[in-house]
Amino acid sequence: MMLQPGSFPQCEPRLFLKLALEKMNAEKLGIVCIAEADGKLAGIFTDGDIRRMLLKDQKPFPALFTDDVIVHAVKKPTTVHPDDSLMQAIEVMEQKEIWDLPVVDENGALCGLLHLHPAIKALLGMA
Amino acid sequence: MMLQPGSFPQCEPRLFLKLALEKMNAEKLGIVCIAEADGKLAGIFTDGDIRRMLLKDQKPFPALFTDDVIVHAVKKPTTVHPDDSLMQAIEVMEQKEIWDLPVVDENGALCGLLHLHPAIKALLGMA
């Protein structure tokens, strides 16, 4: 039930923040994963980061929207490894109280995204 | 594991949007429940609503921040009844792919908030 690349919001570090938000809207997910050209995860940016940014950084919209997304991203997010079990991943999301876990291999490459809803659906046999 | 009134972000419909966001930040939750003076639930406003609002409604910050929160709220959110079971509530959150359920009685009064993290922790015996 891991979301495969292409089926969740992903962008490069220097994308305009506004375009990153549009990718989130298009996929109806509250997270965008930011990867370097070589595939390595550079950070994540979530709906909660938008809220915290708005209250901290009161630049006018046009200026904020044309910042590189990486400027406002969480650079060292919690991740899981492709070999970790579903239950391990859910426990990590519960301990950290987060909704998403980028799946990252031993080379730092982004392999996919584990979102809590499909994970819980799988756990409950609702998938 | 329902969050009791006073332990989650709650405000009146005519609070400035900016102050509603500050309540969300203070409680570290991505939702604020909006209740009338008589206690009836008037709507909710979430982190996802912030993202959708920013892309739809590009007013300057000062104008947006001084809108009444109810203007940007979801007026008829999905809710549960105090008598519903934990599993019923989790299933509703999974079907709707949402993170929070206001708990509302037969008179429309807001009794509390069910947040998916504590619900899943209770389900898994992590609470």
Is the pLDDT reported for residue B94 higher than 90? yes
User: What is d(CA A104, CA A84) in angstroms, rounded to the nearest whole number?
Assistant: 10
Which two three-digit tokens encode residue A60? 């006018």
Residue A25: which of B22, B51, B61 has the nearest Cβ? B51
Q: What is the pLDDT of residue A62?
A: 79
B51–chain A nearest CA distance, Å: 7
Mutate to test the interface with B, among A97, A100, A115 (most CBs of B within 10 A): A97
Sorted by where each begins, the domain ranges of chain B are 10-123
Q: If pLDDT is split at 50, 70 and 90, which confidence band does B61 have? A: confident
Partner residue facing B24 (CB), from A22, A51, A120: A51
Instruction: Give the pTM.
Output: 0.95
> In CATH, which superfamily holds the domain spanning A10-123?
CBS-domain (3.10.580.10)
Residues of chain A with pLDDT under 70: 127
* Alpha-carbon distances of B49 from A20, A43, A127, B84, B103, rounded to whole Å: 16, 23, 26, 26, 20
The candidate with the shortest Cα–Cα distance to B100, out of B75, B117, B125, B122, is: B117
Supply the pLDDT for residue B27.
Answer: 96
Structure confidence by residue, pLDDT tens digits, A60-91: 877 899 999 999 999 999 999 999 999 999 99
List of chain A residues whose C-beta atoms are within 8 Å of the C-beta of residue B24 = 51
This model of the complex carries an ipTM of: 0.93
**What local confidence, expressed as pLDDT, does residue B37 receive?**
97
Residue A90, C-beta contacts closer than 8 angstroms, at least 6 positions apart:
A116, A119, A120, A123, B120, B124
- Say yes or no to pLDDT of B91 above 80: yes
